[in-house]
């Protein structure tokens, strides 16, 4: 297993959407997720992790150790079984090997070979049990700086699915549909990287560099008709001098402020230039924390 990171990190991640749906809610007709109390938009941590997984799968698929455990349409039992096959250990239904050394070996193999397992962790206690891993990298929900106003837009497809539909329309052959968009929204998400948890999964400095690269570039490789224009706007990283950390995370997050410079605060913004991002680094070096602006 590679050497794990030696420092704790927190980060503030700002991204925006223009005329798109950053994270639809399937229980609400795929409308953009919304906090009903504040009318601010939401993007789940799972959504952000999915984009990172997709970017790593696209860019690192040829490198050993960068396979993705939770792939789209994958079967997790088959993923878990790969550890047993590689280590030539017989699997028992729903149980890890009784030999504790072999059980640890199975879980360690999953961490070594799957980027998302050693990064985000995984519950692999399925019918083919490969253990449970608590990941060093975690995200909070992204939330828009100001309230958003989702729009429902009618769209037309100049074709129909079946001959029956065509006959019912007299040859018109059109299908009406709907899509939901956010005209503009700037979202803020917080992230955490634990060096102590990284010791258990082998999450390394090389893995960390790939995480930063993913956050900077993943929206450029996640285009779709539903997504509109999405972009990473700011990534502010707080690096502690040691593994346990030198300051509470919430105090560091409070040092990154996003202010409206155009339009009224609380009303929908129109573009990123309507905001100004300020990072207060005063006194941080004395506390043992460095500020690194990746974007």
| 154-203 confidence digits (pLDDT tens) | 888 888 788 888 778 777 777 777 889 999 999 999 999 999 999 999 99
Q: Are the C-beta atoms of residues 249 and 35 closer than 8 Å to each other? A: no
* Rg, C-alpha atoms of the chain: 23
Q: Does 151 have pLDDT greater than 60?
A: yes
Q: Which pLDDT belongs to residue 1? A: 53
Q: Does 4 have pLDDT greater than 60?
A: yes
CA 124 remoteness from chain centre = 20
pLDDT tens digits for range 232-242: 999 999 999 99
Q: Which pLDDT belongs to residue 253? A: 98
Q: Does 266 have pLDDT greater than 90?
A: no
Q: Does 129 have pLDDT greater than 90?
A: yes
Q: Which pLDDT belongs to residue 29? A: 87
Give the mean model confidence (pLDDT) for residues 142-159. Answer: 89
**Poorest-pLDDT segment among 34-48, 83-97, 224-238, 241-255:** 83-97
Q: Are the C-beta atoms of residues 142 and 48 closer than 8 Å to each other? A: yes
How far, CA to CA in Å, does 190 sit from each of 19, 44, 51, 232, 237?
Answer: 24, 11, 16, 14, 10
Q: In angstroms, rounded to a whole number, what is the distance separating the alpha carbons of residues 172 and 182?
A: 31
Using CB atoms within 10 Å of the CB of residue 208, give its burial: 0 to 12 exposed, 13 to 18 middle, 19+ buried. Answer: buried
Q: For the chain, what's the residue count? A: 295
List the one residue out of 132, 102, 115, 275 whose CA is nearest residue 207. 115
- Taking CA 207 as the corner, what is the angle to CA 201 and CA 211, rounded to the nearest 5 degrees? 115
pTM above 0.85, yes or no: yes
Q: Which pLDDT belongs to residue 173? A: 74
Q: Which pLDDT belongs to residue 175? A: 76
Q: Does 77 have pLDDT greater than 70?
A: yes
**Poorest-pLDDT segment among 140-149, 151-160, 163-172, 244-253:** 163-172
Give 76-108 as a DSSP string: HHHHHHHHHHHHT---BBTB--SSHHHHHHHHH
Helices (H), the chain: 45-60, 76-87, 100-113, 115-120, 163-168, 195-201, 205-217, 249-253, 284-287
pLDDT tens digits for range 85-106: 999 998 888 889 989 999 999 9
pLDDT tens digits for range 202-218: 999 999 999 999 999 99
Percent of the chain with pLDDT over 70: 99
**Poorest-pLDDT segment among 25-29, 140-144, 267-271:** 267-271
Instruction: Give the distance between the most distant pair of CA atoms in the chain.
Output: 76
Q: What is the mean pLDDT of the chain?
A: 93
Domain range summary for the chain, segments of one domain joined by +: 1-44+141-151+181-295, 46-133
């Amino acid at each position: 297993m590679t050497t794990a990171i030696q420092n704790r990190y927190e980060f503030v991640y700002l991204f925006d959407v223009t005329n798109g749906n950053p994270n639809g809610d399937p229980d609400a007709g795929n409308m953009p997720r919304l906090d009903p109390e504040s009318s601010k938009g939401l993007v789940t941590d799972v959504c952000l992790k999915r984009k990172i997984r997709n970017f790593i799968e696209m860019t690192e698929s040829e490198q050993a150790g960068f396979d993705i455990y939770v792939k789209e349409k994958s079967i997790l039992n088959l993923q878990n079984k790969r550890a047993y096959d590689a280590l030539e250990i017989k699997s028992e239904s729903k149980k890890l090997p009784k030999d504790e050394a072999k059980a640890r070996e199975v879980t360690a193999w999953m961490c070594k070979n799957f980027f998302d397992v050693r990064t985000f962790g995984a519950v692999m206690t399925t019918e083919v049990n490969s253990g449970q891993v608590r990941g060093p990298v975690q995200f909070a929900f992204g939330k828009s700086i100001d309230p958003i106003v989702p729009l429902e837009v009618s769209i037309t497809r100049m074709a129909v699915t079946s001959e029956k539909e065509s006959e019912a329309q007299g040859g018109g052959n059109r299908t009406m549909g709907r899509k939901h968009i956010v005209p503009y929204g700037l979202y803020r998400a917080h992230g955490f990287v634990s060096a102590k948890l990284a010791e258990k999964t082998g999450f390394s400095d090389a893995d960390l560099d790939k995480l930063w690269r993913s956050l900077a570039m993943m929206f450029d490789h996640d285009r779709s008709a539903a997504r509109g224009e999405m972009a990473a706007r700011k990534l502010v990283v707080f690096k502690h001098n040691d593994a346990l950390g030198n300051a509470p995370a919430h105090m560091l997050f409070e040092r990154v402020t996003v202010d409206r410079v155009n339009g009224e605060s609380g009303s929908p913004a129109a573009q990123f230039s309507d905001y100004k991002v300020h990072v207060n680094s005063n006194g941080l070096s004395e506390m043992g924390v460095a500020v690194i602006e990746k974007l």
